[in-house]
Amino acid sequence: MIFGMIELSRLADLCRRLRTSPGRLDKLALLADYLRALPADAVATAVAFLTGRAFPQSDPRVLGVRWLPSVDDAAAGAGPPLSLADVAAAFADIAEASGAGSRRTRAELLRALAKRASADERETIQRIMVGELRTGVSDGLVLEAVARAFGAPLESTRRAALRLGDLSAVAALAARGGVAALTSASVRPGVPLLPMLAQIGEDFDEVLEAHGGTSALEYKYDGARIQLHRDGERVSIWTRRLSDVTRSLPDVVETARRELVAAPFILDGEVLALDGAGRPLPFQELMRRFRRVHEVERLVREMPLTLYFFDCLMADGRSLLDEPYARRWEALTAITGGRYLAERALVTAAEAAREFRARALAAGHEGVVAKDLRSSYEPGGRGKRWFKLKVAETVDCVIIAVDRGSGRRSQWLSNYHLAVRDADTYADVGKTFKGLTDRQFVEMTERLWALAVSDDGYTVRVRPEVVVEVAYNEIQKSPTYRSGMALRFARITRIRDDKAPGQATTLEELRLLYERQFATKGRSV
């Protein structure tokens, strides 16, 4: 069987069955059976569609449209049955339409697609276009299904996914080459990887013990994480949530081309916007640069950026993910010529570490990150190889609902329901209306209405897409919330547009923070 013969109706039927199958194992079996029956050249497209994407994760194309035109059901299904290849080709033509008449071209392509599709197929196409199949299937479950379908160990499949940054690419490798292909999968320039993350730490003595007596401390900058790729003259820049911001940062692109060597390379770093005195500007100001796609040059002049690199994932076309941090820092120094490096110190004593953190805080930064010199780079990983040590305690929460305001806030959605990640769902930890300016309340109201999924007249449930950094005074036990805990005096300190919901604080991390409070407090029986 060839790609062009795989009917869309089979995918639509699968999605319907997934929606009516409540059990995780049932969904896993359905997915694996479907993928196993596909020809190898259809697997990548199928996985993209099953995860609610018009294109694979590493494909920079965007549809630019969200809705299929309505058609008369009596006239639907005209022509030969739609295949996965037909839909993929139509999506490609829509994404590539540009210039005069492109709007009309896209409309005609969508109309033709809608006319050939049955009602079930139209629903499936529409859900793919808006990025939400609502089948109860997460990326993680699709990854497990790929492993099961093609007889690969889950660990090998997960490792390949972390290096390729693209579930479709992983599935295609597994379908064509099995375990051997997955095992040899390596990082590729132009394809972003999930960033390695730091665990929350508090005590430098514990950090030094975990790192074998010596730790590399770096300033934890209050900026935006970026991943910089260069392959020849091609430069790509990605945020920590793997959004392509290359067009918005032409000054960083120019730096990569003119001042950095040893391409192909991939660097991990941070960008900051500074004031005239060299102090970091507020994070929200920096986000203006990341969102801008028009009049970019003017904003480059108004808000120049400062670069700080702190890791090297590839140099001279060779992956360094499995090399120790000390070796990766050497490669980073060679690529940059010693410029644009994060402020850094090697420490062997807690007092020296505290002094270094004090300097970071005095310079207006958040604190420090402590790294084990022996640590490899694990995309998406978090553990004791990297610690972040800040003074103010914060967690990253996802907004899952919001209440209508009262009084002068009556026109706004202003009391936010906060949640942390708990496996494939979210567990609420409290509410807050504190921390935002009036302007931010207005902007957030518009943003959350666009994400609304239900409204009982008082509380609006929203898709969990907005991440906020939340400061708190204490974590308390609470029977009110599903998490079993509540953030006391919660207040939003910033909107984390650079973070995806999957990068929010986990319930396990919150429980750890709760237990750590009792190092300095008494515990009631």
Minimum mean pLDDT among 109-123, 196-210, 382-396: which range? Answer: 382-396
Residue in 27, 220, 371, 499 annotated catalytic? 220
Is the pLDDT confidence value at 332 over 70? yes
Q: How far is residue 335's CA from residue 260's CA, in Å, rounded to a whole number?
A: 5
Quote the mean pLDDT of the chain: 90
Helix (H) or strand (E) holding 293: none
Range with the largest mean pLDDT of 76-80, 293-297, 425-429: 425-429
- pTM to 2 decimal places: 0.74
Helices 8-20 and 40-50: angle between axes, nearest 10 degrees: 40
Minimum mean pLDDT among 25-39, 69-83, 166-180, 410-424: which range? Answer: 69-83
Helix (H) or strand (E) holding 452: strand 452-455
So what's the pLDDT on residue 525? 36
Is the pLDDT confidence value at 291 over 90? no
- Give the contacts of 266 (CB within 8 A, at least 6 positions apart): 187, 189, 193, 227, 228, 229, 312, 313, 314
Q: How far is residue 464's CA from residue 325's CA, in Å, rounded to a whole number?
A: 35
Enumerate the β-bridge partners of residue 399.
Answer: 418
Active-site residue, 220 included: yes
Is the pLDDT confidence value at 32 over 90? yes
Minimum mean pLDDT among 21-25, 242-246, 362-366: which range? Answer: 362-366
Output the six-digit token pair for 437.
Answer: 């300016």
So what's the pLDDT on residue 524? 44
Minimum mean pLDDT among 15-24, 124-133, 141-150, 509-518: which range? Answer: 509-518
Is the pLDDT confidence value at 223 over 60? yes
pLDDT above 70 coverage of the chain, percent: 95
Task: Catalogue all structural domains in the chain, each as residue range(s) with its CATH number.
Answer: 3-183 (1.10.3260.10), 197-390 (3.30.470.30), 394-519 (2.40.50.140)
Is the pLDDT confidence value at 284 over 70? no
